[in-house]
Chain A
């Protein structure tokens, strides 16, 4: 084990604060790659990105290049994007469709489940060469599982199953998918990709941070205290303020954090603030849901519950501006983020079109929201170099966290409970307990 033994990891995280070095120390980043990204369930994509046999998308888990593909058996595979011969990247495009994967270097071919298909000029190899040797294929990741179309994979052969890992946070996926009239979502509507100078954990923290909104995003709030409209049929968006009635409503949001897995969500603000949505397309959508589920269940599905959910360590899900976000750590101070719009299958086209357009406004690299977050992440990365303090604080509401019946933690309002849950899990992974 390196100099960062589990004892020292324990000193870096306490209940209400983390040591600044976790954002700046390259040795800690390397350890995160091994202890978190090479062990945990990592979100790799959604089945709707690869609807047909031969379809694939490429990505990385930690530093390891991977391919998520649909094989001729109709199943989803997650394989290493590396030739079993000399190791070259085999699938060079971000996405595509192929009968076989062919390495550019010496022309070896692989099936879309990663198995070796054929070796070029095979007679040149000696007796010891056995094409049945699985290590000559691209290789499958030890564990792959899906939850309602969301594909997760783990580089570790052992560990808790996906259902256990997701736990109560899995209901955030249910809540979103249930909103589709056909009971399925589509994640093939392109992708926003942005990069920031800053540690990956700044993005994970931020996705479930309800405290920063009136300050980081002050430039999106009008003089009347409302943000621009974020959904069809409403003229203005949420009332956002650091004082008065709007702030009081924000303090009524729920907050939840998993006891062990590190997932968390920030609840939606109370329904009372929602303006009635009498847009015809929205009403048609409600009618479709009611036809499928009945009025009572449809109303329950539509009742806003969870706003943002962060699945430790690399995925977040947002219900309001429907999207999946994937966090890709590149270096201790450099992070890439991909934001995929979610379309509700069976919903009126206008609704899905508006969801796509709204995501441009909130999460594009040229958006009105995400850009201020990226700036704040950059300033955090540069700022935590200062030695005025050893700590970054997540103490807000720490005295009021309550254990729920599952043994998870709940609280209310703009608390930093989600971040406390994230760092409790971070410490478990980093010290080898998880």
Chain B
């Protein structure tokens, strides 16, 4: 009997419960402001992308709400930890629910999979409570300990809206 390679059956190589546990943990890291730990979930060449229009093809030809590589995340989170970050004095509180996890077909890279999910995020700061909703996709790679995020793309339903300050990643 021939050995089944990851490339032939990538989705089957991943346990859905394990993925759900990982992505729920990822959501908790953000709500608990453990930003450095969140950054460390990403691969060295990993990135986090929040487009500004529903049909935005790439982050190079049009501006994005977020397009962070790990280096940018370092800068962003160093600022979030700075005592004189006025836009976060007091800090935003967030509470999010992630769900509707589905492993997508079509990822042919061995040891990786693309996971679609839904996000509902409520944030609050100084009398202003907001609601965000998004379709989220992660590309995950199997690592020695659990998973690493190759990329995370957040498609907000109001991506082309006029926003107030957004300080915390979705």
Q: Is the CB of A360 within 8 A of B79?
A: no
Q: Is the CB of A341 within 8 A of B165?
A: no
Cβ–Cβ < 8 Å partners of A357 in chain B: 59-60, 67
Residue A248 lies at the interface, judged by CB distance under 8 Å to chain B: no
Q: List 20 interface pairs A-B (beta carbons < 8 Å), by A numbering.
A: A94-B160, A190-B63, A191-B52, A194-B162, A194-B164, A195-B163, A219-B85, A220-B79, A336-B162, A341-B63, A356-B60, A357-B60, A364-B65, A364-B66, A365-B65, A366-B167, A368-B79, A371-B165, A372-B85, A372-B86
Residue A211 lies at the interface, judged by CB distance under 8 Å to chain B: no
Q: A191-B63, A366-B65 are in contact. Are A374 and B165 (CB under 8 A)?
A: yes
Residue B61 lies at the interface, judged by CB distance under 8 Å to chain A: yes
Q: Is the CB of B162 within 8 A of A193?
A: yes
Cβ–Cβ < 8 Å partners of A360 in chain B: 63-67
Q: Which residues of B contact A (CB under 8 A)?
A: 50, 52-53, 56, 59-67, 72, 75-76, 78-79, 82, 84-87, 160-167
Tell me the dominant secondary structure on chain B's binding face.
loop
Task: Enumerate the 6 nearest inter-chain pairs by beta-carbon distance, A residue then B residue, closest first.
Answer: A190-B62, A365-B163, A219-B85, A219-B82, A366-B166, A371-B87
Shortest Cβ gap from B89 to chain A (Å)? 8
Q: Is the CB of B63 within 8 A of A222?
A: no
A356 to B85, CA, bound (A): 24
A24 to B59, CA, bound (A): 39
Contact bitstring A367-386, B, C-beta under 8 A = 1, else 0:
01001101110010000000
Residue A110 lies at the interface, judged by CB distance under 8 Å to chain B: no
Cβ–Cβ < 8 Å partners of A427 in chain B: none
Q: Is the CB of A365 within 8 A of B64?
A: no
Shortest Cβ gap from B127 to chain A (Å)? 10
A366 to B67, CA, bound (A): 10
Which residues in window 62-98 of A have CB below 8 A to B?
94
Cβ–Cβ < 8 Å partners of B78 in chain A: 222
- The contact of B63 among A364, A368, A376, by CB within 8 Å, is A364
A62 to B136, CA, bound (A): 38
Residue A251 lies at the interface, judged by CB distance under 8 Å to chain B: no
A222 to B79, CA, bound (A): 9
Shortest Cβ gap from A91 to chain B (Å)? 16
Please count how many residues in chain A sit with their CB below 8 Å of the partner chain's CB atoms. 35
Cβ–Cβ < 8 Å partners of A219 in chain B: 79, 82, 84-86
Residue A359 lies at the interface, judged by CB distance under 8 Å to chain B: yes
Q: A195-B162, A361-B72, A368-B79 are in contact. Are A375 and B87 (CB under 8 A)?
A: yes
Shortest Cβ gap from A58 to chain B (Å)? 13
Contact bitstring A177-203, B, C-beta under 8 A = 1, else 0:
000000000000111111110000000
Cβ–Cβ < 8 Å partners of B79 in chain A: 219-220, 368
Residue A216 lies at the interface, judged by CB distance under 8 Å to chain B: yes
Shortest Cβ gap from B168 to chain A (Å)? 9
Cβ–Cβ < 8 Å partners of B63 in chain A: 189-192, 339, 341, 356, 359-360, 364
* Chain B residue nearest in CB terms to A215: B84
Cβ–Cβ < 8 Å partners of B67 in chain A: 357, 360
Cβ–Cβ < 8 Å partners of B166 in chain A: 364-366, 371
* Chain A residue nearest in CB terms to B58: A353
Cβ–Cβ < 8 Å partners of B72 in chain A: 361
Q: Is the CB of B66 within 8 A of A371?
A: no
Q: A218-B84, A368-B75, A368-B76 are in contact. Are A375 and B162 (CB under 8 A)?
A: no
Residue A228 lies at the interface, judged by CB distance under 8 Å to chain B: yes
Shortest Cβ gap from A101 to chain B (Å)? 21
Q: Among A193, A194, A364, find the residue whose CB has the most chain B CB atoms closer than 10 A.
A: A364
* Chain B residue nearest in CB terms to A194: B163
A353 to B64, CA, bound (A): 12
A216 to B86, CA, bound (A): 7
* Chain B residue nearest in CB terms to A196: B164
Known: A189-B61, A364-B65. 15 other contacts (CB 8 A): A189-B62, A190-B63, A192-B52, A192-B63, A192-B65, A193-B163, A194-B164, A196-B164, A218-B82, A219-B82, A357-B67, A361-B72, A365-B65, A368-B79, A375-B86
